[in-house]
Amino acid sequence: MLSQWLFYAFATVSVLGALGLILSRHPMNGALWFVVTLVSLAGLYSLLSASLLFALQLIVYAGAIMSLIIFIIMFLNIQPADIPDEKGKWAYLLGGCLAVIPIGLLLLKIVSSLPEGDVDIVGNGFGQVKSVGLVLFRDWLLPFEIVSILLLVALVGAVVLAGKKEMTQ
């Protein structure tokens, strides 16, 4: 029962965070709202017995990636004048809702056709470091390596791009 209440709490918080993200004017506010979403998602992961992912979500996402974003926002020292004034924001949001609703409905329909299951804690190391690691390095070795190369390339690319003095016209 507790897990159900926790789910609803986390879900509400994450949705609020997401709304905050898309509605806030200054990116810094949005980033902070997004951290809230990420943290509550981490809580949901733990409810789903994904203990490793719970940790990673906090460390990598809410920790590393978000701090990078926030760092950049601060680094750019964005003044209110630099922020685009989005006059038709509400119109776009409304129109966007109209466009998105059929997608959501379709996805919900698909979900409702899936088998239902409960979320009790699973034993024998489900979602633990060791078992995930075994799957990762045994069955997913090649994708793992590819992702590592991707990260390397992204790193180099980021250095090259950000290091440029001027954009070439």
Site for other proteins in 18-37 (CB under 8 A): 18-19, 21-22, 24, 27, 30-31, 34, 37
Q: For the residues of 12-57, what is the DSSP string, one character each?
A: HHHHHHHHHHHH-SSHHHHHHHHHHHHHHHHHHHHHTT-HHHHHHI
The correct pick among 9, 74, 96, 145 for binding other proteins (CB under 8 A) is: 96
CB of 117 to other proteins, least distance (A): 5
Number of residues that bind other proteins (CB under 8 A): 93
Summary count for the chain: helices (H), strands (E): 7, 0
Using rule CB under 8 A, residue 44 touches other proteins: yes
Question: Does 80 participate in binding other proteins (rule CB under 8 A)?
Answer: no
Contact with other proteins (CB under 8 A) among 39, 127, 142, 145: 127
- Angle of helix 2-23 relative to helix 27-47, nearest 10 degrees, comes to 160
